[in-house]
Amino acid sequence: REIDRMPLSRALAILPSGMLCPIVLGCTATGGTLLVDQGAIPNTLVAGAPGSGKSTLLKVMIENLLVSNAGVVIIDPKIVDFAEFKKRSMCRVESDMDNVPHLLDLVISRMNNIYMTLAKRGHLSVAQNNSSGDTKISPEIIIIDEWADVFLSNKECLKKVLLISQKGRAAGISVILATQRPSSSILPGQIKANFTGRIAMRVSSEMESRMIINSSHAAHISEPGMGYYQDQSMDSPVYFR
């Protein structure tokens, strides 16, 4: 069936309060709402060829996260794609690739400080802390657009991103990596193992589709804005718009 388009205003209006970082990705082919908790996944790979709607999807995800009072750090190698978020509170946009390693170090430092706070309060995670009545800790999502550009500009970024993706969940810190051309050269096995959330928009080949969702489906998407979502809780990817 034709999948309905969901206005952003409707998506933001139905965000539940029981999730750490709820995101409404859109409507499914069965007419349902595709709702995920980025804080529970906690790391996501997003792939999409130019014109597939990848940047628009990332902006929708950011708007969802800001409504939930999550901090968002955006690494934008193309400089202009996410410039509109520079003046938004709880948002930081970095376009200078020379500054990215230091920015990731700041995230790692915050992560370690959160763990120290949790230990003092006797909590195992930010989610447990926030539901206990103690002073809430804001979750934080690191969104890296054009991961290939970041990765190739400084290979040290891979180690820092892996550290955050491996240790960040309980501290309420998640990573979303986006790329136009998924390949094993920029998405090594360590990345794939720690990024169990997968979104495939239209990609250039069946091989690229399989890199993300272990299926060739994304190579046959005909329209921009359509995609497949899968995480560790699902046996097969879900089609959405």
Give the pair of three-digit tokens for residue 96: 């200078």
Give per-residue pLDDT as tens, 172-194.
999 999 999 899 899 999 999 99
pLDDT for the residue numbered 137: 97
Q: Is the link from the previous residue into 42 a cis peptide, with omega within 30 of 0?
A: yes
Cα angle 86-91-93, degrees, rounded to a multiple of 5: 50
Closest CA to 184 of 156, 157, 207: 207
Task: Give the residue ranges of the chain where pLDDT is below 70.
Answer: 1-2
pLDDT for the residue numbered 5: 79
Closest CA to 221 of 200, 197, 194: 200
pLDDT for the residue numbered 31: 86
